[in-house]
Amino acid sequence: MVASSSSLSKPQDHPALGIATFIGNMMVMALLSAGVRELVNRDYPLSEVLLFRYLFASVFFWVILLSTAGLAGLATRRPIDHTVRSISGIVSLALLYFALTRIPIADAIAISYTAPIFITVLSIFLLGEVIGLRRWIAVFAGFIGVLLIAQPGASGWDIGVVAAAGSAFTGALVVIWLRKLSSSEKSVTIGIFYNNLGSLVCLLWVLLSGWLTPRGDDLMLFIVFGLGCGIQQWLLTVSFRYAEASLLAPFEYLAMVFAAIVGFVFWGEIPVLTTWIGAAIIAMSGLFIFVRRKKRMPAASPVEPVTID
């Protein structure tokens, strides 16, 4: 999971367009989730799917960089922080993609949205924040939501559930490091470092695990998937250009609904009642944490929602 704390260009006041593009971004993400599962089901290595995702996203950010800041935008004095943020993001996305191939899409997406809960806990140790009783209650409620979705039995937790939870945890690390970086780094610089390093890591992973040349129509599926990743990045960028993060935050949990629709349309997956209840609890917990944090921050401080990248 990643967070967008500022847009890549000058913000403008057009909330309706911002909300529309933000919702469009989540719809595309749901379709990309289906693309991940389909490609892996066709025996393509997860490393290869991730490589296509990072390569296309890298092209998007290079276009933004060269059309705005130029190569000077690559300058940074914080390479270690960029590395921590990037590695956390790569692990988070890889775990989410793996989870999508093992458990229902709605379950995977819902569990991944526990990132705000992990952010709250990690902020105590990494940012020195003080957490009040009400936010602690929201944290525990969120974990109850996860238990309702996972329903661990005598055999323990499904590995897909563990992967989704791991994605949320590492996604929380991404957000915390983005908060650190956003004080001095441009969003486009952060995006360039993340996607370029992701491309390099996944290329090495492919070389080690093996490459399966796309067959027939599969090549078109890979291209559509890659283009979809670029479109999703563009929609997300535009949404933050035209609307405040605080306005968009309540809409991000629609991703769970879109994931459920995609799972039903393509694989006939119907979320059980406990999944809907657990997802609702996670959403309410995340929104409560967001609202409480916003109230405690100075008016000029940006508050970023967490979005799946």
Kindly state the average pLDDT of the residues 36-52. Answer: 95
The helix or strand, by DSSP H or E, that contains position 3, with its residue range, turns out to be strand 2-3
Distance of CA 265 to the CA centre of its chain: 22
**Taking a C-beta distance cutoff of 8 angstroms, is the pair 157, 150 a contact?**
yes
| Of residues 64, 282, 102, 99, the one with CA closest to residue 190 | 64
Q: How far apart are CA 7 and CA 239, in angstroms?
A: 8
Q: Per the structure block, which two tokens stand in for 298? A: 């100075």
Q: Which domain holds residue 132?
A: 2-307
What pTM value is reported for the model? 0.87
Q: Are 100 and 251 in contact (CB under 8 A)?
A: no
Tokens linked to 58: 């890298």
Q: How far is CA 221 from CA 53, 103, 227, 231, in A?
A: 12, 22, 10, 15
Residue with tokens 């105590």: 124
* pLDDT tens digits for range 148-187: 998 776 456 789 999 999 999 999 999 899 888 888 888 8
Sequence-ordered list of residues with C-beta below 8 angstroms from that of 230, at least 6 positions apart, any chain: 56, 57, 59, 60
Q: For the chain, what percent of residues have pLDDT higher than 90?
A: 54
Buried b (16+ CB within 10 A) or exposed e, 255-288: bbbbbbebbeeeeebebeeebbebbebbbebbbb
As given in the structure block, the two tokens for residue 287 are 């929104």
Q: Which tens digit of pLDDT belongs to each residue from 220-253?
A: 999 999 889 889 888 888 888 888 877 888 888 9
pLDDT digits (tens, 9 = 90+) for 7-29: 444 556 788 998 999 999 999 99
Inter-residue contact 73 to 186 (CB < 8 Å): yes
Whether residue 101 contacts residue 208, with contact meaning beta carbons closer than 8 Å, is answered with no
The band of 296, judged by pLDDT with boundaries at 50, 70 and 90, is low
Tokens coding 101 = 């191939």
| Residue-level pLDDT at 195 | 93
Q: Count CB atoms within 10 A of the CB of residue 76.
A: 16
pLDDT band at 307 (very low <50, low <70, confident <90, very high): very low
Closest among 305, 200, 288, 298 to 248, alpha carbons compared:
305
Q: 120: burial class by Cβ within 10 Å (0-12, 13-18, 19+)?
A: buried
- pLDDT for the residue 101: 94
Torsion, CA 118, CA 225, CA 255, CA 273, rounded to 10? -90
Per-residue tokens: 245: 């993060």
Note the pLDDT of residue 64: 86
Per-chain mean pLDDT for the chain: 86
- pLDDT tens profile 114-157: 988 998 888 888 878 888 888 899 999 999 999 899 877 645 67
DSSP labels for 131-181? --HHHHHHHHHHHHHHHHHH--BTTB--HHHHHHHHHHHHHHHHHHHHHHH
**Residue 216 pLDDT exceeds 50:** yes
Could you tell me if 148 and 281 are in contact, meaning their C-beta atoms sit under 8 angstroms apart?
Answer: yes
Report residue 222 as tokens. Answer: 């890979």
End-to-end CA distance of the chain: 6
Tokens of 38: 């389909």
Report pLDDT for 11: 55
Predicted confidence at residue 9, as pLDDT, reads 46
Number of domains in the chain: 1
